A and B are shown apart, each in its own frame.
Chain A
Amino acid sequence: YELTQPPSVSVSPGQTASVTCSGDKLGNKYVSWYQQRPGQSPVLVIFQDDKRPSGIPERFSGSNSGHTATLTITGAQATDEADYYCQAWDTTTAVFGGGAKLTVL
């Protein structure tokens, strides 16, 4: 099973960024999203498609339908510049997308 993400996404500060993740019938699976800043361990920002863990800003939101899941960052900030990975389960194994580098400029 494969998850496909765009290699890069750009957004201006204060604008909305959308990072997509595509996979066969992905809407039938739970999708998680992770943020990884350079030199740091990943951080969970969205789980079960659209839920935010405690401590994650409200500007992060998620959706999942059909074959595409989307991570949306509303009002992007410079601190949001990072790599973002989607993740889902294929029966008993987990799969990560290739990652998308979000540039805020």
Chain B
Amino acid sequence: EVQLVESGGGLVRPGGSLRLSCATSGFTFTNAWMTWVRQAPGKGLEWVGRIKSKVDGGTTDYAAPVKGRFAISRDDLKSTLYLQMNSLKTEDTAKYYCTTSVTDLYSIDVWGQGTTVTVSS
């Protein structure tokens, strides 16, 4: 069974940093392109960014609101995905989902349960 389990969420002050982790199992993590998606309270889904597999270059892409502040990385030996969040703003408050696709490169068919990040003074 494919599983994605996020951790690392919590309360952080504006300007602070936080690192989220996503432990994965049940699929070949090394070959997977991994994506972070977030959802602010009562709001819609927002794509955060993606990291390709190392065999496909391992490059990252980010949404405009987080570019330059967030960084996605991966540890293929641990089958774990990370999201380093710096210079956090109140508008970054959201549930953060770790996601991937085992179907194609255009959609997301595997979602974690999410971890909540609250940015507040």
Q: Measuring CB to CB, which residues of chain A are less than 8 angstroms from any residue of chain B?
A: 30, 32, 34, 36, 41-44, 47-48, 53, 83, 85, 87, 89, 92-99
Contact = CB atoms under 8 A, between A and B. Distances in A.
Interface string B15-48: 0000000000000000000010100000011110
A96 B47 contact: yes
A34 B62 CA distance: 21
Interface of B: 35, 37, 44-47, 50, 61-64, 97, 103-104, 106-109, 111-114
B103 A47 contact: yes
A-B pairs, 3 with minimum CB distance: A32-B107, A47-B107, A41-B111
Most buried by B among A41, A89, A99: A41
Contacts of A42: 45, 97, 108, 111
Nearest to B114: A41
